[in-house]
């Protein structure tokens, strides 16, 4: 395990992200209590909430919502406002591991289409990678998640990736309702998506839903 200060970590982000990807465990230290960083940990100071005490609220963001953190588009302001508004009660932000590939694929496509310069693409990819390591709880597509997929696609006209997102959120909700901690967090779950079909399916599955493009 390697100890590294938070300022050092941010100044040499690319180097340390490569080390984490290669399996190294970092202990990021600051004036606050030290926090171990394997693949996920605590929030950065850029809007994704920190580890505050108080009522526990968990956000599940699909890729359509999380992408708005890194590119200014319809819903970006509403998403950031929601994160700021609830920053004292949100305990963690979760998403499927699928989101990592989905968001990087969009960045790469925008770079190919010259919508982002090579420098812009690299910067936003590094920012996303830093959040992935430090502040996002990735949910693996294990047996528990897959158990929800069949009923999800039977009940709603969802694409495969969207079914994984819904199944991941339902699994997370069930774990919390049983008092089982996931990354040390339990509590009510809010499903955040700007995909209307997916948001509708989530609402019919009895999840609280927030669509940043419509603000509700």
Binned average pLDDT, 10 residues per bin, the chain of 216 residues: 70 69 69 44 40 61 95 93 69 88 96 95 92 87 95 95 96 77 64 96 95 89
Whether the CA torsion 125, 160, 79, 97 is positive or negative: it is negative
Tell me the backbone φ, ψ of residue 60, rounded to 5 degrees: -110, 120
140, 97 contact by CB (below 8 A): yes
SS3 60: strand
205 domain-assigned: yes
Q: Domain holding 197: CATH number?
A: 3.40.50.1010
In this structure, the strands spanning 189-192 and 136-139 are unpaired
Q: Does any domain span residue 215? A: no
Confidence at residue 52, expressed as pLDDT on a 0 to 100 scale: 40
111 and 136 housed in the same domain: yes
Question: Is 131 found in the same domain as 71?
Answer: yes
Angle at 70 between CA 94 and CA 156, to 5 degrees: 50
**Residue 126, domain extent:** 40-210
User: Does one domain contain both 101 and 126?
Assistant: yes
Q: What is the pTM of this model?
A: 0.74
Q: How many other C-beta atoms lie within 10 A of the C-beta of residue 165? A: 31
Q: What pLDDT score does 191 carry?
A: 96
Length of the chain as a residue count: 216
pLDDT of residue 91: 53
Nearest to 199 by CA among 215, 177, 183, 180: 215
pLDDT of residue 4: 73
Identify the CATH number of the domain in which residue 10 sits: 3.40.1620
User: What span, in angstroms and rounded, lies between the C-alpha atoms of 95 and 19?
Assistant: 23
Residue with tokens 């992935």: 132
Same domain, 202 and 149: yes
Question: Is 163 part of any domain?
Answer: yes
Long-range own/partner contacts, residues 116-119 (CB < 8 A, 24 or more apart): none
Angle between helices 98-112 and 118-134 (to 10 degrees): 170
**171 and 130 in a common domain:** yes
Comparing C-alpha atoms, which of 185, 167, 192 is closest to residue 59? 192
97, 138: one domain: yes
């Amino acid at each position: 395990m390697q100890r590294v200060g938070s300022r050092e970590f941010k100044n040499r982000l690319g180097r340390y992200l490569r080390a984490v990807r290669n399996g190294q465990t970092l202990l990021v230290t600051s004036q606050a209590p030290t926090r171990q960083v394997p693949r996920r940990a605590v929030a950065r100071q850029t809007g994704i909430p920190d580890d505050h005490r108080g009522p526990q609220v968990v956000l599940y963001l699909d890729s359509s919502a999380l992408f708005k953190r890194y590119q200014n588009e319809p819903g970006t302001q509403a998403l950031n406002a929601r994160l700021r508004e609830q920053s004292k009660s949100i305990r963690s932000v979760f998403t499927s591991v699928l989101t990592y590939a989905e968001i990087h694929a969009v960045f790469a496509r925008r770079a190919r289409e010259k919508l982002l310069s090579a420098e812009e693409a690299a910067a936003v990819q590094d920012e996303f990678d830093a959040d992935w390591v430090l502040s996002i709880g990735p949910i693996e597509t294990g047996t528990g998640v897959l158990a929800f997929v069949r009923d999800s696609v039977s009940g709603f006209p969802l694409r495969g990736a969207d079914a994984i997102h819904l199944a991941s959120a339902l699994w997370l909700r069930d774990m919390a309702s049983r008092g089982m901690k996931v990354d040390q967090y339990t509590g009510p779950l809010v499903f955040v998506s700007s995909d209307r079909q997916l948001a509708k399916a989530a609402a019919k599955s009895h999840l609280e839903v927030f669509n940043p493009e419509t603000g509700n």
